[in-house]
Amino acid sequence: MNSLDFLPEGVRLAVSPLSWANDVLEDLGADISLDTCLLDAAAAGYQGVELGRKFPREEGSLRPLLHDQGLALASGWHSGELAERRVDDEMAAAAAHADLLHAMDCKVMVYGEVAMMTPGSPLDAPMSQRLIMPAGEISAYASRLTEFSKHLAGEYDLQLAYHHHLMMVTETFDEISRLFDTTGREVGLLLDTGHAAGAGFDYHRLIERFGDRIVHIHLKDVRSAVMDQVRADDLGFNAGVRRGMFTVPGDGAIDFAPVARFVRESAFQGWLVVEAEQDPSVAPPRLAVDRAFAHLAGLFGQQT
C-alpha cells in the first residue's frame, strides 16, 4: 500500500473509474469488472473513487463494495439542466443521487450542465458547434444555481461543485468568470485541469481568480498534439477521447506544480481526483493510475 503522507491534512486522493470504463462510450472498458476497478484503485494506494456507470446506486450494495477495499466515495456526477429547468424540478431530478451521496458521507456533488447542448449526440458533434448561453440569460441561470446550491446544502449537507466542461455552456475562462461573478458563494467550483487546457487557458488562472471557491479538483492531463489535431479537424469530444487527448497526470503537457502549491498553501480541504478518459485497451488502467500516483507523490514531496 502506498503512503499518502505527502498530502496536507484534510486533503484526500481518489481516482476516477473512467480509467477502467468510460461512462458515455460504453465499449471502452466493457469487459472490465467493477471488482477489478476497485481492487486496482486500492492496491495503487488511492483513498477513494468517484461513481461510475458500473457502480450500484443503493447504499446497501455500494458501501460494502467500497468498504471491502478500504475506499471511500469521493463524489458523483449529476447531469443538471438548470440552464432550462426550474429549481424545484432540478431538486426532484437530483434527489436520489443526492440522497446516495449524503448516505455515503460525501461532502460535494459534481454538477455538469447538460442543458443547452448541441441536439442529437452532443459529445459527438464538432466542438465548434457547441451552444453558447446568451449573455442575457446568465443572471437568471446563476440565480437558479445559487438557489439550487442552497437547497442542496440545506437538505443533503452537500456542496455543489460546478464542473466547467468542454462542449457545455461554461467552457472558456471568460464564461466561467462571468458565471461565478454572478452566482452566490454557495456555488462551489470544481477545478478540472484537463478541461481548462482543452478550452485553451491555463487552469492556474482559475486558482488566482476563484481559489476560495474551489471545493473539488479533477487532475487530468492532456496530450497537446492530439488535442491540437482534434481542434484543427473540428472533431467531437468523444472522437478526441478515442484518440487519446486526455491522460493521467505526468503523462502529458500540463504542469501540476501550481495546483500542488495551491493545495498546500490554501485552505482547501477535500478530494483530489485523478481522472483520465482513455481507452483501457490502449492505456492499461493499473499502470496508468500507478504512474499518476507516483507523479503526484513526487510533486507534493518537492513542495515540502
Residue 4, in any domain of the structure = no
Residue 2, in any domain of the structure = no
How many CB atoms sit inside 10 A of residue 265's CB?
Answer: 11
How many CB atoms sit inside 10 A of residue 213's CB?
Answer: 17
Residue 236, in any domain of the structure = yes
154-168 pLDDT, tens digit per residue, is: 999 999 999 999 999
Residue 8, in any domain of the structure = no
pLDDT at 107: 98
Q: In the structure, what pLDDT confidence band is assigned to residue 2 with cuts at 50, 70 and 90?
A: low
For residue 235, pLDDT over 60 is answered with: yes
For residue 304, pLDDT over 70 is answered with: no
pLDDT at 1: 43
Greatest alpha-carbon span in the chain: 52
Rg (CA), the chain: 18
For residue 29, pLDDT over 90 is answered with: yes
Q: Characterize the bridge pairing of strands 214-219 and 270-274.
A: parallel
Residue 214, in any domain of the structure = yes
Q: How far apart are the first and last CA of the chain?
A: 22
pLDDT at 170: 98
255-295 pLDDT, tens digit per residue, is: 999 999 999 999 999 999 999 999 999 999 999 999 999 99
For residue 200, pLDDT over 60 is answered with: yes
Residue 86, in any domain of the structure = yes
For residue 301, pLDDT over 90 is answered with: no
Angle at Cα 271 formed by Cα 252 and Cα 282, nearest 5°? 35
- Cα–Cα distance, 275 to 218 (Å, whole number): 6
Residue 208 sits in which domain range?
14-302
Total structural domains within the chain:
1
Instruction: Please give the DSSP secondary-structure letter assigned to residue 132.
Output: -
- The 3-class secondary structure across 240-298, one letter per residue, is HHHHCCEECCCCCCCCCHHHHHHHHHCCCCEEEEECCCCCCCCCCHHHHHHHHHHHHHH
- Cell numbers found for residue 124: 459527438
Which CATH number belongs to the domain containing residue 49 in this structure?
A: 3.20.20.150
pLDDT at 303: 55
For residue 28, pLDDT over 90 is answered with: yes
- Cell numbers found for residue 264: 498546500
78-133 pLDDT, tens digit per residue, is: 999 999 999 999 999 999 999 999 999 999 999 999 999 999 899 999 999 999 99
Record the pTM. 0.97
Residue 82, in any domain of the structure = yes
- The 3-class secondary structure across 49-118, one letter per residue, is EECCCCCCCCHHHHHHHHHCCCCEEEECEEEECCCCCCHHHHHHHHHHHHHHHHHCCCCEEEEEECCCCC
